[in-house]
Amino acid sequence: DFPIENAYDSFLSQHGGDDNAYTDMEHTLYHYCIPQDNNSKHVWKALEMFSSFFKCPLLKGEMADRELKAVESEFELNKNSDDARLSQLMSFTCGMDGNAPIMDKNWNEKIDGGGSSEKPFHPFAKFPWGNMNSLKTEPEAKGIDVMEELRDHYNSHYYAQNMRLVVMAGYELDEIQRQVVQYFKDVPANPRSNVDNGGVATTTNLHPYKLPFHSS
């Protein structure tokens, strides 16, 4: 719907708005704000453009490369902070079943003489950040197509049952609902690609831990 790169950011900037996004643990949050105008056209145009990310994103390789450089820069800037070190310590602790990528083969012998728990591999035992090495260098060395993996991740996780939308605006609730339905009704309810659970989201990657899953 919006084939020009950065059209969304440009539109917000032109009309006094801004946007940002971040990933924290297993959640990613995208947010923006824009001043309300007299006829509301800018507000709803921004909502339409925002909705396109969850229906038909560009996901171009050159755009991903630029974003990767930003991720690497942020990693280098913060990797020695106390928060980053605490996060890595938590990952190490979660990986103490011997299966975590951050462990060497002899870690359990060094710690407890060879004992090992039987708990399943915890997803937080993985490297909790992203950088050039983890997102490009190592995957490509293993023959992995990073862009294919990126698109597969989008198709597997960006669907309505897996997301929540919050809209705050100074309009009647019926009008807000009408606009939201108009622009987000085409977001698929289930994953776009086949998943191991028959195509319906009924579990999470914490399923082996018998944690509850709320489908709505």
Q: Residue 176 belongs to what H/E stretch?
A: helix 173-184
Q: For 152-206, write each residue's pLDDT tens digit.
A: 999 999 999 999 999 999 999 999 999 999 999 999 999 987 555 444 444 444 4
**Cα distance from N-terminal residue to C-terminal residue, the chain:** 28
Per-residue pLDDT at 182: 96
Query: Residue 98: which of 113, 110, 120, 116 has the closest Cα?
Result: 116
**Mean pLDDT, residues 133-158 taken together:** 92
Assigned token pair, 136: 């490009």
Per-residue pLDDT at 96: 67
* Cα–Cα distance, 212 to 194 (Å, whole number): 23
Per-residue pLDDT at 124: 78
**Mean pLDDT, residues 80-85 taken together:** 91
Q: For 180-193, write each residue's pLDDT tens digit.
A: 999 999 999 999 87
* Cα–Cα distance, 55 to 157 (Å, whole number): 12
Assigned token pair, 1: 């719907």
pTM for this model (two decimals) = 0.75
